[in-house]
Amino acid sequence: MNSPVVATSHVPFPSDKHKVHCAKYSTSLDPRGYIPVYEFTLNEQPILWDRETGYVYWTGIWKAIGREKSEIAKLVDSNPELSKDVKKIRGGFLKIQGTWLPFDRAYELATRTCWYISEDLVPVFG
């Protein structure tokens, strides 16, 4: 993955491999009452990021590399700087339940842990 280009609009980067589309999922755990996302599927997992805030659905990326959802808590515990930035969605639409990280934090973790799917993450991180 190249250096991220942080854009305030969080628009997907072009990719010939994945068709990215927009969706909006209801949740009472967000002050907006919903999360507007860009999304595509990778290894049968939803890859989502918030169109307005840039938060990235880390659970989908983590599971796309074959890791267990339960390991995310250990990952956050071993990186204390993440704990203040983590958003956990519980309840509501199943697809959005899990751990969400700010774009920069998600990019940093992806460069360390997701190198073999880096080309698949181009729509998110560039």
Beta bridge partners of 100: 57, 87
Closest to 41 (Cα-Cα) out of 65, 24, 60, 55: 60
Predicted local confidence at residue 92, as pLDDT: 79
Instruction: Please list the pLDDT of the chain residue by residue as tens digits (126 residues).
Output: 554 444 445 899 999 899 999 999 999 989 999 999 999 999 999 999 999 999 999 999 999 999 998 899 898 888 888 888 899 998 778 999 999 999 999 999 999 999 999 999 999 999
Distance between terminal CA atoms of the chain?
7
Say which residues have a Cβ less than 8 Å from residue 84's Cβ, sequence separation at least 6.
none
The pTM assigned to this predicted structure is 0.89
Torsion of CA 39, 76, 84, 21, to 10 degrees: 0
4, 126 in Cβ contact below 8 A? yes
Predicted local confidence at residue 1, as pLDDT: 52
76, 86 in Cβ contact below 8 A? yes
Predicted local confidence at residue 91, as pLDDT: 78
Predicted local confidence at residue 125, as pLDDT: 95
* CA dist 45 → 33, 81, 82 (Å): 24, 26, 23
The token pair that represents 63 in the structure block: 């599971």
Predicted local confidence at residue 77, as pLDDT: 84
Predicted local confidence at residue 6, as pLDDT: 47
Domains and CATH numbers, the chain: 21-119 (3.10.260.10)
Predicted local confidence at residue 7, as pLDDT: 47
